[in-house]
Homo-oligomer: A and B are copies of this chain.
């Protein structure tokens, strides 16, 4: 286990769950479908919104609408705190107190830079489309300059982040082990269902393999 990059990324509560290595952090950022972005608004109070992200190397890209008031403070250079969380299972202990979840989460701090370079805009759009569904970035029509004007893409360096990971069975206190009560883990898995073609889809366009066989991660 490496050290936390900064004081505020140091995990104090249950430090045995802390991970500071980039491969762990990157995998969680890649696998989590969405993230939650928090920032302090002009009134000093915190806001948080869900959005989609995509990682390209050492950069996390976030997607927002230019029309949304919410993103204006972020675009203005506010510092953000991003959380990406994957729940892998319910940890059912004998005691309510030791109930938990198996999860993998990342918290990332940074100042969001608005992406304006045309090449970087296109790379970020491709990365976000890939993040939604790998393979889609090769088929979807990429944004026009006018569409890019309606979108805000933010870049945050991945250099102040920590992860927390819990795995394994419940950890009950010794006296509770004799309780006549089932204990264990109930895994949770998110899977794609049956693709639903758009009502305006012309006949004869088959479901692509990357849609039919999609699995997360």
Enumerate chain A interface residues (CB-CB to B < 8 A).
Answer: 12-14, 33-34, 36-40, 44-50, 52, 65, 67-70, 79-83, 85, 87, 89-90, 92-97, 99, 101, 103, 105, 107, 109, 125-126, 128-129, 132-133, 136-137, 139-144, 147, 150-151, 169-170, 172, 176-202, 205-208, 211, 214, 216
Contacts and interface: CB of A to CB of B under 8 A. Distances in A.
A198 B170 contact: yes
Stoichiometry, as copies per complex, reads 2
A136 B13 contact: no
A196 B169 contact: yes
B182 A81 contact: no
B96 A133 contact: no
B211 A197 contact: no
B184 A195 contact: yes
Contacts of A202: 177-178
Interface of A is mostly: mixed
Nearest to A10: B69
Contacts of A38: 36, 38, 46-48, 81
Given A47-B38, A85-B34, A182 B211 contact: yes
Contacts of A45: 40, 79, 81, 109
A38 to B, nearest CB: 4
A195 B201 contact: no
